[in-house]
Amino acid sequence: MDSANVLVEKKDNVGILTINHPPANAVNLATLEDFNKALDDLENDKSVRVVIITGAGEKTFCAGFDVSDAANGDKCRTYGSQTWTRVDRFSKPVIAAISGFALGGGCELALASHFRLMEDKPKATIGLTELNLGIIPGWGGCVRMARTLGRSKALDLILFSQKLTAAEALAIGLIDKVSAPGEVMKDAMELALRIVQRPPLGVTGVLKTINTLLYEGMDEALKIEQEGVVKVMSSKDAQEGFGAFFEKRQPVFKGE
């Protein structure tokens, strides 16, 4: 499913969602609508096991809210928060492949993704810079930055609108890997294909359990974990996993 604002490619059980809204991949109401349609497509396609989110071009991952769509500002504020939360709670692993800068809402999208890879380029920076405009992050940035880095570090980064290079972001755990210039999609695909080799039902069960912990608490997460155990133990993938173990070979999981 492609649109004017979002491109979707599917390859080797990996779905690639590209924000395509030049010049800075800023997000307006139409882009959010297209983004959600793309998520629908990727979630419903059983052949897709991992999703990579990136931005078109080499200069920007996502610049956040498109201020030229101020007439829809209130709708975008609510819809943007809901959409990034949908990414955070997505049923399949989501990798953010960051080329160029990811500021404001773009950083918030990266924080909502489950893995973050970023190119090492002079002008590539990541951060929540909203306070420079007299506003605060509104698409989950405060919450997810604190979840990722802890309160004190999150406050330091947000209150002073710091922009971090890839190396600086890696050093504090804001991203998971620094990619060489031009290599972030290659690295993201390599990570995605490693995840693809894992048992899909198991991956979904782990992701659902952790997401439940983050959003609904320990007791509910423990219930979800036990439900997941029951489901996967009776699966063909479990039979394949145990069979491969005893036969001393690599398992081939099919999500069944």
Rounded Cα distance, 13 and 31, in Å = 25
First to last CA, the chain: 26
133 near 89, Cβ under 8 Å?
no
Which entry of 9, 43, 108, 168 is annotated as an active-site residue?
108
220 noted as active-site residue: no
Nearest to 105 by CA among 184, 158, 27, 17: 27
Nearest to 17 by CA among 46, 45, 55, 62: 55
52 near 97, Cβ under 8 Å?
yes
225 noted as active-site residue: no
122 near 148, Cβ under 8 Å?
no
Which entry of 130, 183, 227, 247 is annotated as an active-site residue?
130
Rounded Cα distance, 24 and 177, in Å = 23
Maximum CA pair distance of the chain?
63
Which residues does residue 53 pair with via DSSP β-bridges, in sequence order? 17, 96
Owner of token pair 């979800």: 224
User: Strand 94-98 relative to strand 6-11: parallel, antiparallel, unpaired?
Assistant: unpaired
Residues with a catalytic annotation lie at 108, 130
